[in-house]
Amino acid sequence: MASPQTQRSVIVTGGASGIGLAMTRYYASQGYNVSVLDINEKTGPGIKCDVSSWEDQAATFKEIFEECGRIDVVMANAGISEQGQSCIMQVEEDAPAKPTTNHKIGPPLHAQERQDIAIPGSIIVTASNAGVYPFPIAPLYAAAKAGLINLVRSMGPALEKANIQINALAPAVLETNIAPSNDLFKHMIITPMSTLIHGDSVTVREPHDYVDEDSKKNLEMFRSLGYA
């Protein structure tokens, strides 16, 4: 059996159901030390953690790092969705003021930066193709996922210097319990969970062009200067 210092370690937030559960099972099958963080303790063994709380998540990540001695992968997956039909023109006074998706990058990033740079780190963020294309039925969800995608793209160059890779998963429709009813999936083309985990095909293309030369020069200068 591998020692805590040599066994690869992964943290999966929202790992008790859906995509998180699938990733938990995958990493366990690969011999990783898997730490499952979830706000729902009823779904099985794991560590209760509210990722909407910076303090809660930071303390949990620190505890795991000290116990395992390393964190190789963080699967930032926990989140909630808008339920039912959404319309930003109709606002209920008592509507819950909760974000539609919670992915705190700071604590896992800090934990991975504390370890030897020779050990490569990986952060995988669960986004959605609703963050790539217009999604009028759930605009807040779409905005949150779009924000995650650009967060990942923007953090990539800086994290590369610390030997940390960051990627976003932007799947199509997966049959999980995030939907209000399973009836929804009867009308959809479902992506198998195995495709999300193992991949199907890879399409590589050049980044999008800038809208104009001035924007390109300014954004490149921001990166060169190192501050904004």
pLDDT tens per residue, range 19-62: 999 999 999 999 999 999 987 766 556 677 888 888 888 889 99
Residues of the chain short of pLDDT 70, as ranges, are: 1-4, 41-46, 80-116, 178-180
Helix axes 54-68, 106-113, angle to 10 degrees: 30
* DSSP-assigned beta bridge partners for residue 73: 10, 122
- What is the pLDDT, as a whole number, of residue 97? 47
Strands 9-13 and 73-76: what pairing? parallel
d(CA 14, CA 167) in angstroms, rounded, equals 17
Over the stretch 71-87, which tens digit does the pLDDT of each residue have? 999 999 987 665 555 55
Give DSSP secondary structure letters for 191-221.
PPHHHHHH-S-----PPPPPSSHHHHHHHHH
**The pLDDT value given to residue 24:** 94
Nearest CA among 44, 40, 143, 41 for reference residue 88: 143
The total of other beta-carbon atoms located within 10 Å of residue 149's CB is: 18
Predicted local confidence at residue 86, as pLDDT = 53
